[in-house]
Each structure stands twice: as C-alpha cells, then as structure tokens.
C-alpha cells in the first residue's frame, strides 16, 4: 500500500544491539513478504531446537547468529554472557561464537527469515512448544475477532501449561451493528481454531472476551498484563482450576 500511494518501497530488516545491529534485510520490498529477508554478508544463521541441534529449512527454531559483528559479552556480567554466547564448534562452522537471540523463527528455501515469537513466551504443553504469535495469527482471521492475545496458564489437573486466549470481539459482524460475545461464542471460536492447528495447540485454557489488548507504544502485546491478571485470580481463589 505504501508503494502504491507514495511510490516508495518499505523493506523489513532485523537485528539486535548484540549484533551491531542489522543482520538481515529484504533485498526488494516485495520479495519474501512477511519476512525480514536473507542474512547480510558475513552472517551465519542457525535455527536450533531446545536440545541444541539444528532444525531443517522451514522448521521453527531459536535463531542463533555468528559473525564478526556479534558482541563479545555483557559488561561485568559473565553469567549473562555465558548464557547468551555459544562457543563455535566444527559442526556450527564459524570461527566466531554464536549469539542465542531468544527469537523463534524459520527460513524459507530462498533464505528469507521469518520471526514468529520469543523463546521466553513459548507455552510448554506436555513436552510440546506452542508459539502464542502463531495462534494469534490464526485467531484474527475469525470473523468475530478484532484483536487477541494468547498466553500460557498452568493447569493443575493436567499438570502442564495450556494456552488461553484473550479476544476482542468485532463491534459489527456482517449486517449486525453490535454482537454480544459470551461463553457460547468463545466455545465456537475454540472449535474453529481446533480445526486449523495441531491438537496440542488448542486453546485448552479457554477463551475470555476483553475490551482491549494491552500493548506497548511500539505495538507489542504486553502478555505480562494478562499473566498477572491470571496470577491474581489464582491467588484469590487458590483451589479453583482454570
């Protein structure tokens, strides 16, 4: 739309302070839409599983980056440095350490990288990892959902985390000026989502309708707001399961 209106192509890029800073950039604004483009020169990028093994192209993993631009460590914080940097080995094929970015992403066959979530925000359900952003991307396609946030909540009965969805309903749907959203609509959305994702990604924590989704000034979802809300409810009703 920007290209059509202003005649200027806007390209996505990616980087962090620890990588000085840019590591990826789209070569053309319409090449790999939704991606941050391929790695720049001298960057070696790996997508790693939780066990530290490289995953194949197209599969999600934590983004590890190596190159002469990667930082040497955090000032006066050896523990944080040790946790963030992995000494290179013959299997990693780089003479520089790899920086564990904490981002989850994947690479397409053309080398374009797509960022899908953060490691610390992943929901651990019975040994599976569920990315909230993936579920949010599907949920907003539903005709009733204006905006949403997915977080993990610990289910004492199942003894594992389960995804719960906080949804903002659309003011108007079709010819209706305003729609009332409740438990019935929530269960319908749950069922709809269940038919579009793997079984372990279902919203086993249920759905809650809210007025708005808390976000930062840059538009990032503030998941901690909803996690704090759940925590307060659990503290007030310690014997109540979600």
Answer yes or no: is pLDDT of 126 > 90. Answer: yes
Establish if 14 belongs to a structural domain: yes
pLDDT at 93: 81
Q: Do both 79 and 183 map to the same domain? A: no
Using the 3D structure, point to which of 118, 136, 153 is the last residue of a domain: 118
Q: Do both 15 and 93 map to the same domain? A: yes
Establish if 25 belongs to a structural domain: yes
Q: Residue 144 maps to which CATH number?
A: 3.30.300.30
Establish if 10 belongs to a structural domain: yes
Establish if 242 belongs to a structural domain: no
Instruction: Pick the most confident of 9-13, 40-44, 232-236.
Output: 40-44
pLDDT at 92: 82
- Mean pLDDT, the chain, rounded, equals 91
Using the 3D structure, point to which of 118, 140, 158 is the last residue of a domain: 118
Q: Do both 142 and 97 map to the same domain? A: no
Q: Do both 128 and 38 map to the same domain? A: no
Q: Residue 48 maps to which CATH number?
A: 2.30.38.10
Establish if 172 belongs to a structural domain: yes
Answer yes or no: is pLDDT of 177 > 70. Answer: no
The proportion of the chain whose per-residue pLDDT surpasses 70, expressed as a percent, equals: 94
pLDDT at 33: 84
Q: Do both 141 and 113 map to the same domain? A: no
pLDDT at 7: 83
pLDDT at 171: 87
Q: Check if the beta carbon of residue 136 is closer than 8 Å to that of residue 149.
A: yes
SS (H, E, C) the chain: CHHHHHCCCCCCEEECHHHCCEEEECCCCCCCCCCCCCECCCCEEEEECCCCCECCCCCCEEEEEECCCCCCCCCCCHHHHHHHEECCCCCCCCCCCEEEEEEEEEECCCCCEEEEEEHHHCEEECCEEECHHHHHHHHCCCCCEEEEEEEEEEECCCCEEEEEEEEEECCCECCECCCCCCHHHHHHHHHHHHCCCCHHHCCCCCEEECCCCCECCCCCECHHHHHHHHHHHHHHCCCCCC
Establish if 24 belongs to a structural domain: yes
User: How many domains does the chain fold into?
Assistant: 2
What number is the average pLDDT over the span 196-218? 95
pLDDT at 35: 94
Q: Do both 28 and 69 map to the same domain? A: yes
Q: Do both 80 and 107 map to the same domain? A: yes
Q: Do both 49 and 112 map to the same domain? A: yes
Domain with 179 in it: 123-236
Q: Do both 10 and 97 map to the same domain? A: yes
pLDDT at 179: 75
pLDDT at 234: 85
pLDDT at 242: 46
Q: Do both 113 and 50 map to the same domain? A: yes
Q: Categorize the per-residue pLDDT at 170 as very low, low, confident or very high, splitting at 50, 70 and 90.
A: very high
Establish if 241 belongs to a structural domain: no
Q: Do both 78 and 154 map to the same domain? A: no
Using the 3D structure, point to which of 66, 92, 118 is the last residue of a domain: 118
Q: Token digits for 170?
A: 């659309």
Q: Do both 38 and 143 map to the same domain? A: no
């Amino acid at each position: 739309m920007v290209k059509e209106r202003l005649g200027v192509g806007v390209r996505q890029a990616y980087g962090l302070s620890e990588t000085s800073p840019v590591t990826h950039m789209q070569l053309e604004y319409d090449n790999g839409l939704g991606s941050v483009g391929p790695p720049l020169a001298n960057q070696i990028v790996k997508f790693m599983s939780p066990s530290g093994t490289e995953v194949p192209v197209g599969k999600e993993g934590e983004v590890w980056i190596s190159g002469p631009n990667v930082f040497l460590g955090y000032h006066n914080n050896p523990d944080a440095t040790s946790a963030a940097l992995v000494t290179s080995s013959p299997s990693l094929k780089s003479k520089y350490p790899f920086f564990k970015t904490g981002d989850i992403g994947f690479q397409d066959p053309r080398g374009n990288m797509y960022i899908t979530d953060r490691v610390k925000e992943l929901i651990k359900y019975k040994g599976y990892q569920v990315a909230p952003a993936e579920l949010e991307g599907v949920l907003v396609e539903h005709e009733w959902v204006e905006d949403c946030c997915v977080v993990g909540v610990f289910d004492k009965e199942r003894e594992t985390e389960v995804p719960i969805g906080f949804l903002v309903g659309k003011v108007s749907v079709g010819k209706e000026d305003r729609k009332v959203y409740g438990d019935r609509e929530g269960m319908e959305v749950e069922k709809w989502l269940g038919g579009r994702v793997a079984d372990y990604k279902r919203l086993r924590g249920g759905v809650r309708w809210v007025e708005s989704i808390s976000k930062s000034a840059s538009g990032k979802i503030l998941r901690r707001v909803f996690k704090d809300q759940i925590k307060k409810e659990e503290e007030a009703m310690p014997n109540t399961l979600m």
